[in-house]
Amino acid sequence: MSETLTLILQGVVDRLHLQATTYLPSLIAAGIVILGALVIATVARRILYRIFKGAAIDRFMRRTGLAHLIDPSGRLRATRITAEAAYWSILTVGVLAGLSVFGTDLTAHLIQSFVFLIPRLVIAGLIILAGAWLSHYLARCALVWAFNENLPYPRRLAVGVRTMVFFVAIVVASDHLNFARDVFLTAFIIFVGGFVLAVSLAVGIGASGRIKGYLGEKEKRIEDREPVRSLWHHL
Amino acid sequence: MEDNVLPAEAERALAAIKQADIVIGIPSFNNARTIDHVVKACYAGLSKYFPQLRGVVINSDGGSTDDTREAVLSAKVDDHSLMLLSTPLYPLHRLSFPYHGIPGKGSAFRMVFEMARRLGASACAVVDSDLRSITPEWIDLLLRPILFAKYDFVAPYYHRHKYDGTITNSIVYPLTRTLYGAQVRQPIGGDFGVSPAVMKCYLGKDVWETDVARFGIDIWMTTVAVAEGFRVCQSFLGAKLHDAKDPGADLSAMLQQVVSSVFDLMHVYESVWQRGRGSSAVPLFGFRFDVGLDPIHVDVDRMLTQFRRGAAELGDIWDICLLPDTLSEIRKLASDSNSHRGFHIDDTLWARVVMEFSRAYRTNPILRSQLVRSLTPLYLGRVASFVIQTENLASSEVEDRIEGLCLAFERLKPYLVSLWSGERPQHTDAGETATPEPDSGGKNALEVGNV
């Protein structure tokens, strides 16, 4: 009985010893690689914070409204973006290099999948960013237009436009990533269909009197040649 | 370039006429109803005041479909005995051509200036085709300072109702005066006299495919003349009465066109306007007289409703344009005033609003159209405030109020300069005292008074 127990324990100890002697050096090596990457990333980030100014990028982001979009406080600078991008890129490469030390099929597959995913992730990220920018831009256009046309609830209209455009961007990005493609597409169709139906019902039932009044007032203004809105009084 | 500017029939007309002393340009688009009167006034003006000079009246048409060109060519202009005119030494020519280029008043002017240049004209005047109040004297007043007093640019000076021309009074006049230091009272008047030197300068600019050709020509002409150091004067033309315009015209689009033009020019002439401080009077010619004006009814309550609605709805966009202090003052005004009697946007606050919008326009090129259109409710608030403050004032007192606004703009010029240089300026209501520079405009026998 005791012999059997000793044998089992011996087996366990041997296996642990074997695994430790097999994987521990790799683990230590991976740790060292990742630690090294962390140090390099931190140093690179500090250096970039000090030397990289990126005035032209700042100007571009400010002028396009991207800076405000990504960081509403408006304090986002190219220096920060570049430094953080360098930090996370170096760290990611370090982690992948650290994983590759193990040399197993699993890690190799993991690294390969991730590397192949990177371009798609970048493009999907750009699609989302462009969609966010476009949704903001079009929402602002809709807001100002609706306000100046005296339409009811211009802010809600703007939010609707922004949501719709951003949703389109998400659908395109998910399609590109091949991620829950059907779910997003179906949701989008339901969303747009529902929106159109709601608007139709609102116009047809709820807001018909209001729209009639608005159109009647506009027509009356044209007929009366109302002085307040005539061109030359303002100029 | 010239080949593109003039149509073939204009080239043939130039070859036939060969030379002219005076050219009068009338841009038009579907103005058959009123252009007949304008052509007659131009003819009578040339016959009466310049009988010894060769004159040409050119209608530059934008593709009218209502027989505007036929109206120009068939206008009866031989009632000399009725108008007690002199007999011209030379026949007066009358031409009408469709202009080339993108549709707009600027393209029409370009053709007129090009023809005037090719004819070797000593002076050129341009007048709107929908004028109901133009008289032969206008032609004299727009051309004489150029022909006989060596001025390069004659701006119009109209007698207007106190609530007429509110974009001019509240934005364009105070801002252009502050920027370029010349007190041109009607910078977007639409009727001008120009010398060959100014015409050459205009034609040499690479702007004829831009918004200048579409809608910004009036302020562009005035600004170029002032900013590039040409001799500028004004002529008192009396009242300006137009043909009725489309009352449904979108105010925000109109405001966008005018304000964008001014802001664009601020960018072009940044180095010029950042130098000077204060402003000087511009000589005014013509006999000033009071005339009866069409009454103008303004709906203050509606304007205030729009202002308050704007503060509630457009806060996100104003947040991009206005600095926090200014925005909070605007928001306070919008939330405070329940009755319109106590409502008041003071001159300094309004000047800061306009200046901060100009900065936002400069730094956000992609959002420009939206930013300027979002100015509409603020502008309506300012007009409402102006109407409330001047309800019981006579025209001359209202003019004093506008002068006060201009001085507020001038005091805040350092604030504008620091805004444009990217600094975060500290505004003070006291501001800096504007120090007018000595009047550089030459006075002469033609001058009857300064404003």
Same domain, yes or no: B228 and B317:
no
Q: What is the pLDDT of residue B337?
A: 60
pTM here is 0.79
Out of B231, B264, B292, a domain closes at B292
B268 backbone dihedrals φ, ψ, rounded to 5°: -65, -45
Q: Tell me, what's the pLDDT at A219?
A: 66
B329 pLDDT above the threshold of 90: yes
Residue B117 has pLDDT above 60, yes or no: yes
Interface test with B, best of A214, A217, A230, A234 (most B CBs within 10 A): A234
What is the nearest CA distance from A162 to chain B, expressed in angstroms?
Answer: 14
Domain assignment of residue B430, yes or no: no
More confident residue, B409 or A149: B409
Confirm if A46 and A103 have CB atoms less than 8 A apart.
no
Q: Among A75, A133, A148, A218, which would you mutate to test the B interface (most chain B Cβ atoms within 10 Å of its Cβ)?
A: A148
Partners of B167 on chain A (C-beta within 8 Å) are: 234-235
Q: Check CB contact under 8 Å for B250 and A148.
A: yes
Q: What's the start-to-end Cα distance of chain B, in Å?
A: 41
Gap between the Cα atoms of A24 and A15, Å rounded: 13
Span B231-237, mean pLDDT? 96
Facing B167 at nearest CB: one of A154, A225, A235: A235
State the total domains in chain B: 2
Q: Please determine, for residue B441, whether its predicted confidence score (pLDDT) is greater than 60.
A: no
Q: Which helix (H) or strand (E) holds A82?
A: helix A78-100
| Nearest alpha carbon to residue B381 among B416, B430, B428, B329 | B329
More confident: A58 or B142: B142
Beta strands in chain A (DSSP E): none
| Interchain pair B366, A65: CB under 8 A | yes
pLDDT digits (tens, 9 = 90+) for B265-274: 999 999 999 9
The pLDDT value given to residue B80: 59
Same-domain pairing of B157 and B227: yes
| Residue B430: band (very low, low, confident or very high) from pLDDT cuts 50, 70, 90 | very low
CA B246 to CA B271: how far, in whole Å? 38
Cβ-proximal residues to B106 (8 Å cutoff; 6+ apart), any chain: B207, B208, B212, B213, B214, B215, B216, B217, B220
Please identify, among B251, B271, B292, the residue that sits at the C-terminal boundary of a domain: B292
Per-residue pLDDT tens digits for A138-188: 999 999 999 998 888 999 999 999 998 998 899 899 888 888 777 877 887
Flag if B254 and A232 touch (Cβ within 8 Å): no
Interface residues from chain A to B (CB-CB < 8 Å): 62-65, 68, 137, 140-141, 143-145, 147-148, 154-155, 218, 221-222, 224-235
- Pair (B8, B43) in one structural domain: yes
**Inside any domain, residue B187:** yes
Nearest chain A residue to B369 by CA distance is A141
Integer Cα distance of B98 and B205 in angstroms: 22
Residues of B in contact with A226 (CB under 8 A): 247
Residue A124 has what pLDDT? 93
CB pairs under 8 A between A and B: 94
What was the pLDDT predicted at B432? 46
Q: By mean pLDDT, which of B58-62, B137-141, B167-171, B297-301 is the weakest?
A: B297-301
B283 and B325 housed in the same domain: no
- Check CB contact under 8 Å for A235 and B252: no
Looking at the fold, whether B384 and B274 belong to one and the same domain comes out as no
What's the mean pLDDT when you consider all of chain B?
A: 87
Query: In percent, how much of chain B has pLDDT > 70?
Result: 89
Q: What was the pLDDT predicted at B288?
A: 83
First to last CA, chain A: 108
In a domain, B449, yes or no: no
Say whether B154 sits in a helix, a strand or coil. Answer: strand
Mean pLDDT, range B268-283, rounded to an integer: 93
The residue that leads in pLDDT, A75 or B393, is B393
Contact check, Cβ <8 Å, A65/B365: no
**Backbone torsions φ then ψ of B441, nearest 5 degrees:** -70, 130
B316 interfacial to chain A (CB closer than 8 Å)? yes
CB atoms within 10 A of CB B64: 21
Q: Is residue B428 part of a domain?
A: no
Residues B283 and B360 grouped into a single domain: no
**pLDDT (0 to 100) of residue B450:** 31
Distance CA B206, CA B220 (A): 12
Whether A140 sits inside 8 A of B255 (CB atoms) is no
Under the banding of pLDDT at 50, 70 and 90, the label for residue B439 is very low
- Residue B310, pLDDT above cutoff 60: yes
Segment of A105-119, B115-129, B275-289 carrying the highest mean pLDDT: B115-129
pLDDT band at B1 (very low <50, low <70, confident <90, very high): very low
> Could A140 and B316 be called an inter-chain contact, meaning their C-beta atoms sit closer than 8 Å?
yes
| Mean of pLDDT values over B30-59 | 92
Q: Report yes or no: B131 at the A interface, CB cutoff 8 Å.
A: no
Mean local confidence (pLDDT), B239-265: 80
Distances (CA, A) of B356 to A125, B169, B419: 34, 18, 7
Residue in chain B nearest A228 by alpha carbon: B298
Q: What was the pLDDT predicted at B435?
A: 40
Nearest CA in chain A to B300: A228
Query: Which regions of chain A are under pLDDT 50?
Result: 225-232
Q: Which residues of A touch B244 (CB under 8 A)?
A: 225, 230
Beta-carbon-side half-sphere exposure of residue B343 (alpha carbons within 13 Å):
28
> Length of chain A, please?
235
pLDDT at B186: 96
Question: Cα separation of A70 and B89, whole Å?
Answer: 73
Residue B218's CATH number: 3.90.550.10
**Two tokens, residue A89:** 């890129």
What is the reported pLDDT for B247?
46
pLDDT, position B214:
85
Contacts 24+ apart (CB under 8 A), A17-24: A23/A102
The complex scores an ipTM of 0.79
Q: Say which range, B8-17, B84-93, B360-369, B395-404, has the weakest mean pLDDT.
A: B84-93
Give the tens place of pLDDT for each residue, B77-112: 766 555 566 677 778 889 999 988 888 999 999 999
pLDDT beyond 90 at B374? yes
Q: Is it the case that residue B387 has pLDDT exceeding 80?
A: yes
User: Shortest Cα distance from B323 to chain A (angstroms)?
Assistant: 13
- Does residue B259 belong to the interface with chain A, where contact is any CB pair within 8 Å? no
Residue type present at position B10? A
Same domain, B287 and B330: no
- Judging contacts by C-beta atoms under 8 Å, the chain A residues touching residue B247 are 221-222, 224-227, 229-231
B309 has a chain A CB within 8 A of its CB: yes
Distance, in angstroms, between B246 CA and closest chain A CA? 6
Instruction: Return the SS3 of B236.
Output: strand
- Rounded CA separation B178/B183 (Å): 9
- Give residue B327's pLDDT: 95
Contact B242 A140 (CB under 8 A): no
Domain carrying residue B332? 300-420
